Structure 1
């Protein structure tokens, strides 16, 4: 059976934090959760855009929607956002690590990390660690982290040059960050299971979806994308379905990875998929975790 947003269970009484929720996949995820009654926090860098997105959700489906400033390129902002969320919500049922950047020119975050690795992985690593104790007491709580088919493309964790200071590849840096998202999920789930927590960590990817994520791609690639996209991509609403299933389907198990079920996982309805062989490398997962703790200064309660 094709799983759709209509199968999202009732979410009344649940608090969901969705990063990057002012547009694209995050917006569609937030709207679907709000439509089922969740209290949804749009954690976004631009609060004005976030406020407009929250109004759109309210106009479309109603619900309780709030906005929280979160700049994943700054650990200071991540800490401030976590503190504000802790003050506003004594519990969190669902954390969706959705925000991301793709194929950016060589840049660094405010803390000196390569932009894609710092935003897509380290920012979410820190946010999750700072909020996890609000999820742990909540039965059925989940951390869902959005990866990409890009985790297979020129991807490896370059411990000898994590921040691409020697040379830079847009695709390689993006692939590293998305591979890190998966390795983080798998190691977090192992720790949660050892802690005997009811909280689970799950990953998802949207296939190839029509969103603003490609805005930083080189001009030639954007031209090709504009011509080919209508033939192979799916809407942001369809692309959000793997995340929504990972976040809400009662049958989900910790450590699973959801993506489109069509050929090549490019588009289609969500199902359990398999990530690349290197993403399951336990030694690399654990080393990445230790490095991420050192770089962010965040320690997890599991």
Structure 2
């Protein structure tokens, strides 16, 4: 069985990899830092299980190159976990002219998922969202979040986008062969927020006393990965290993399609 996971070299992602390592014959890690990834996998008993591929989620061109390589190398993918993400300064823009939060938390995973979707027959796709999605929204005039300068609202909207995308794919596929899930991992003690603005860093730092461990934060992801699909609810949003209802707008098919169409347009613009 083949697993693809982003953000698999730190925090929740690394704990997820450690938990799922025995269950997969190949673990594909699209990573920004190949040297860091190689050092981490050397601690595993079978490092040859891993395939590290250079990929920067903030660059759609990088995602395109890595995604096509993965697709060509692994005709069958059993599980894709879109785990990577973070909170970034409100005015941070990528080299391709995208808002950094939009690119890393949504559009990079959007494109990677679309590239790998044909390979994921009878498999699962998991999106790590957050309860912060409840302060998020989709503004038709600023879907790309380029005009918003508030780190928290951008982060909340990007996590809302993860649920919208998961739900739209679940409806769009119209098939029981692929399970689509989004989840809240919990407030986790990781490097989350280390690249955000000073105020956000301070708030997160003061709150970490009440945060859970990365291992605990990985539990719902691991639960979704290991539980048979017929015992899960595709298109659902999970928290503490149980489906709960996200904000009502996440069920709005029109919003889902708006996000999908806009995202597809942005990818095509960058790659054309």
| Aligned counterpart, 1:293 | 264
Q: Distance in 2 between matches of 1:85 and 1:218?
A: 34
Report the CA distance shift for 1:243/1:198 in structure 2 as closer, same or farther (over 3 A).
Answer: same
Report the CA distance shift for 1:150/1:103 in structure 2 as closer, same or farther (over 3 A).
Answer: farther
Matches within 5 A, 1:29-178: 29-56=16-43, 58-59=44-45, 64-136=49-121, 139=122, 141-153=123-135, 155-178=136-159
SS at 1:48 equivalent: helix
Per the normalisation by structure 2, the TM-score is 0.91
| CA deviation vs aligned residue, 1:166-210 (integer Å, no higher than 9, x gap) | 441111111111100000000000112x2x350111111211011
Q: Distance in 2 between matches of 1:227 and 1:168?
A: 22
Report the CA distance shift for 1:257/1:88 in structure 2 as closer, same or farther (over 3 A).
Answer: same
Report the CA distance shift for 1:221/1:74 in structure 2 as closer, same or farther (over 3 A).
Answer: closer
| Structure 2 residue runs without a partner (length 5+) | none
Give the root-mean-square deviation of aligned CA atoms: 1.9
Q: Distance in 2 between matches of 1:183 and 1:204?
A: 12
Shift of 1:123: 0.6
> Quick check: 28-37 or 118-127, which moved more?
28-37
| CA deviation vs aligned residue, 1:277-299 (integer Å, no higher than 9, x gap) | 1211221111111111111129x
| Structure 1 residue runs without a partner (length 5+) | 1-13, 261-269
Q: Distance in 2 between matches of 1:169 and 1:83?
A: 34
Q: Distance in 1 between matches of 2:157 and 2:148?
A: 14
Q: Distance in 2 between matches of 1:164 and 1:135?
A: 30
SS at 2:101 equivalent: helix
Per the normalisation by structure 1, the TM-score is 0.83
Matches within 5 A, 1:112-261: 112-136=97-121, 139=122, 141-153=123-135, 155-192=136-173, 194=174, 196-230=175-209, 232-250=210-228, 251-260=231-240
Report the CA distance shift for 1:65/1:165 in structure 2 as closer, same or farther (over 3 A).
Answer: closer
Tell me the matched-pair count.
267
